């Protein structure tokens, strides 16, 4: 035996007081046989609409008006049941069913386009780039490149206008120019004498090499001593204290940077095997011009100094000449004695080699 709900036509047990589907009271409904019940089939639209109402009624508590004794004795109409079960919120109103294609389109619109694999790959690449720190440049290499570029600009400016220093430069540029000049000349002389020394015995060759190194060191000390003498006179006697010794050396070399190109040019000629009788004359001419520029630069800096002691620059120039002669004699006395001693020892070794 079953009770058929007068509202939705659902089958309920014979002892049920309310419909298990829509919550309608079954107090006045008479139980019927199973064969009679099977004839009652609810429509698809009523089933879908009453199913939503039943879900809401099952989650909510049963109204107290339906549990009263008077409500049990009176039949409840479908309209009254719907008004009691349906909540007042308009957001939970029943929505008519839509076709499957429309629901799929609405879900895709709400969820947005389906994600592709490309954004994930880009995210993985970005994450890998973030995890892998970028390679930092070597600070020593970068500083060397910057120094070389600035020094080249310093050379070009000195060739264009050797008498005018238009901007401040690095304080070590002057020492760099002197070092390049000395090393280039030393390598040129070494290559010229290398072929002659190679045929000599080992002891004589090493003696000649040591004498050559002493000569290079002597020339370097002499050049630094000349710059130091001019700096002492300009700074001490004339009172021009605007520059330190390194800055003064940079400006000094600025006026005679042609000697850098002359020395490098002679080295390239020697390396390429272009040294002959005519080229030797050219090399000595270039070396003489470089030496003359070196001496003229000191005189130029002396006469362009800003004198604050009112000391006459002619007398300052005479004092510079005297100091240079003294320095030259001191260096040559100790330096040449060592060099001449090495040459004498080499001659003795050479003579002994013939005796054997």
Backbone dihedral angles phi then psi of residue 182, each to the nearest 5 degrees: -65, -45
Backbone dihedral angles phi then psi of residue 11, each to the nearest 5 degrees: -85, 130
Q: How far apart are CA 193 and CA 275, in angstroms?
A: 12
Per-residue pLDDT of the chain (356 residues; tens, 9 = 90+): 788 888 888 888 888 888 888 888 887 788 777 544 444 444 444 444 444 544 444 444 444 443 344 334 444 444 444 444 444 444 444 444 555 444 544 454 445 454 444 555 666 666 666 565 567 778 888 899 999 999 999 999 999 999 999 889 999 999 999 999 988 888 877 777 666 556 555 555 566 667 677 777 888 888 999 999 999 999 999 999 989 999 999 999 999 999 999 889 888 887 887 767 667 788 788 888 888 899 899 999 999 998 888 889 999 999 999 999 999 888 888 776 766 666 566 556 555 555 54
Question: What DSSP designation does 68 have?
Answer: S
Q: In a 3-state reduction of DSSP, which class is residue 4?
A: strand
Q: Is 122 exposed, middle or buried (0-12, 13-18, 19+ CB in 10 A)?
A: exposed
Q: How far apart are CA 22 and CA 47, in angstroms?
A: 10
How does 195-204 read in b/e, with b if 16+ C-beta sit within 10 Å?
Answer: eebeebeeeb
Find out whether 77 and 85 touch, Cβ atoms under 8 Å.
no
How does the average pLDDT of the chain come out, rounded? 73
**pLDDT confidence of residue 228:** 95
Give the CA dihedral 250, 255, 261, 262, nearest 10 degrees. -120
Whole-model pTM: value is 0.57
**pLDDT confidence of residue 71:** 39
Angle between helical axes of 139-160 and 258-271 (0-180°, round to 10):
110
Q: Is 24 exposed, middle or buried (0-12, 13-18, 19+ CB in 10 A)?
A: buried
Backbone dihedral angles phi then psi of residue 171, each to the nearest 5 degrees: -70, -15
Q: How far apart are CA 130 and CA 235, in angstroms?
A: 57
Bridge partners of 25, per DSSP, are: 18
Residue 107: HSE in the Cβ half-sphere, 13 Å Cα cutoff: 7
Q: How far apart are CA 273 and CA 133, in angstroms?
A: 50
Sorted by sequence, the CB contacts under 8 Å of residue 3 that are 6+ apart come out as 11, 12, 13, 14, 16, 26, 29, 30, 31, 32
How does 55-88 read in b/e, with b if 16+ C-beta sit within 10 Å?
Answer: eebeeeeeeeebeeeebeeeebeeebbbebbeee
Tens digits of per-residue pLDDT, 132-189?
A: 556 777 888 889 999 999 999 999 999 999 999 988 999 999 999 999 998 888 887 7
Find out whether 180 and 264 touch, Cβ atoms under 8 Å.
yes
Q: Widest CA span of the chain, in angstroms?
A: 153
**pLDDT confidence of residue 63:** 42
Q: Which helix (H) or strand (E) holds 11?
A: strand 11-13
**pLDDT confidence of residue 238:** 92
**pLDDT confidence of residue 166:** 86
Sorted by sequence, the CB contacts under 8 Å of residue 119 that are 6+ apart come out as none
Q: How far apart are CA 64 and CA 61, in angstroms?
A: 9
Bridge partners of 2, per DSSP, are: 13, 32
Q: How far apart are CA 307 and CA 198, in angstroms?
A: 55
Q: How far apart are CA 254 and CA 162, in angstroms?
A: 6
């Amino acid at each position: 035996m079953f009770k058929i709900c007068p509202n939705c036509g659902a089958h309920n047990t014979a002892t049920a007081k309310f419909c298990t589907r829509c919550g309608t009271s079954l107090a006045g409904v008479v139980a019927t046989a199973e064969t009679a019940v099977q004839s009652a089939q609810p429509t698809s639209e009523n089933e879908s609409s009453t199913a939503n109402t039943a879900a809401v009624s099952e989650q909510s508590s049963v109204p107290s008006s339906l549990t009263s004794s008077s409500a049990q004795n009176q039949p409840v109409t479908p309209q009254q049941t719907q008004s009691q079960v349906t909540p007042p919120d308009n957001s939970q109103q029943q929505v008519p069913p839509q076709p499957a294609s429309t629901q799929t389109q609405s879900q895709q619109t709400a969820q947005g386009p389906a994600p592709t694999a490309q954004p994930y790959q880009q995210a993985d690449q970005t994450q890998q780039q973030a995890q892998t720190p970028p390679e930092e440049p070597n600070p020593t290499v970068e500083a060397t490149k910057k120094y070389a570029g600035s020094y080249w600009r310093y050379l070009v400016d000195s060739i264009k206008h050797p008498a005018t220093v238009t901007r401040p430069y690095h304080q070590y540029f002057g020492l760099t120019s002197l070092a390049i000049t000395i090393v280039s000349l030393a390598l040129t002389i070494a290559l010229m004498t290398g072929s002659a020394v190679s045929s000599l015995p080992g002891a004589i060759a090493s003696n000649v090499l040591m004498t050559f190194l002493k000569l290079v060191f002597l020339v370097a000390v002499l050049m630094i001593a000349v710059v130091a003498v001019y700096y002492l006179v300009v700074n001490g006697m004339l009172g021009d204290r605007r520059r330190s010794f390194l800055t003064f050396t940079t400006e000094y070399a600025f006026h005679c940077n042609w000697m850098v190109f002359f020395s490098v040019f002679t080295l390239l000629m020697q390396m390429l095997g272009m040294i002959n009788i005519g080229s030797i004359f050219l090399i000595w001419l270039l070396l003489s011009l470089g030496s003359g520029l070196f001496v003229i630069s000191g005189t130029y800096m002396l006469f362009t100094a800003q004198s604050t002691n009112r000391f006459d620059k002619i007398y300052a120039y005479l004092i510079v000449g005297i100091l240079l002669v003294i320095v030259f004699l001191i260096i040559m006395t100790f330096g040449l004695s060592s060099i001449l001693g090495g040459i004498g020892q080499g001659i003795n070794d050479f003579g002994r080699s013939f005796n054997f």
